Amino acid sequence: MRRIGVLALQGSFIEHIALLERLGVEPPAVKLPKDLVGLEGLIIPGGESTTISKLAATYKLMDELKRLAKDGLPMWGTCAGMILLARESEGATQPHLDLMDITVERNAFGRQVESFEADLLIPALDVVSSEEEKGKSFHAVFIRAPWIKRVGEGVEVLAALDEGVIVAARQGNLLATAFHPELTEDIRFHRYFLNMVESGHNGMAA
């Protein structure tokens, strides 16, 4: 059974764990460096990015997360998790992992009351979709979400809003989404991440 950990310091980690269990994956809750041993992938969930970052530093997770990502461990950051993965985060003062060659803007869409939902066409998901699912839009939930202002060389844009704002991207073993796939019943993004794990991608993070 695949072991895909979920960083369980704060935020929507319980929802990620539930969807991974639906996929037949063992989803250990990661709170300390010892919990990272033996994982084949890791999800950094949405939540409050400052709180997650401070707790990760307090529990001495930051250096180990950086090392594992650079060694090729697949990592997926959703919303706050995307902020932690980014090389540069505008509007954020907390430490971040500085792994993915993207610049993100924290709370780019505004406050909690300005949260919204949108249907996105994401062709990359067709790789893990059934015939009935192929070409179907993905219903994305944005809650105080960041967006991606810049992508570096080697970063693949996976999804953007109609106005061209980038909200999902991949760079080698790193995946980032500004929205919360764990808050929907659509498990295609979790399948996509599991496919990254199963493909044995050992590309180094830039």
Task: Give the list of residues 6+ apart from residue 102 with CB closer than 8 angstroms, or none.
Answer: 85, 86, 87, 88, 148, 150, 151, 152, 155, 169, 171, 176
Q: Is 133 a catalytic residue?
A: no
Q: Is 79 a catalytic residue?
A: yes
Q: Strand runs (DSSP E) across the chain, as ranges?
A: 4-7, 29-30, 41-44, 75-78, 86-90, 100-105, 116-120, 138-142, 147-151, 156-160, 166-171, 174-177
- Out of 16, 40, 96, 180, the active site residue is 180
- Out of 15, 105, 182, 190, the active site residue is 182
Let me know: does 15 contact 56? Beta carbons within 8 Å. Answer: no
Which is it for the CA torsion 66, 70, 73, 79, positive or negative?
Answer: positive
Residue type for 117, please? E
- Out of 15, 16, 40, 79, the active site residue is 79
CA distance linking residue 36 with residue 112, whole number of Å: 32
CA distances from 60 to 24, 90, 99, 178 (A): 30, 24, 17, 25
CA-nearest of 191, 201, 186 to 72 is 201
Residues forming a β-bridge with 6: 29, 43
Q: Could you give the 3-state DSSP secondary structure of residue 53? A: helix
Residues marked as catalytic = 79, 180, 182
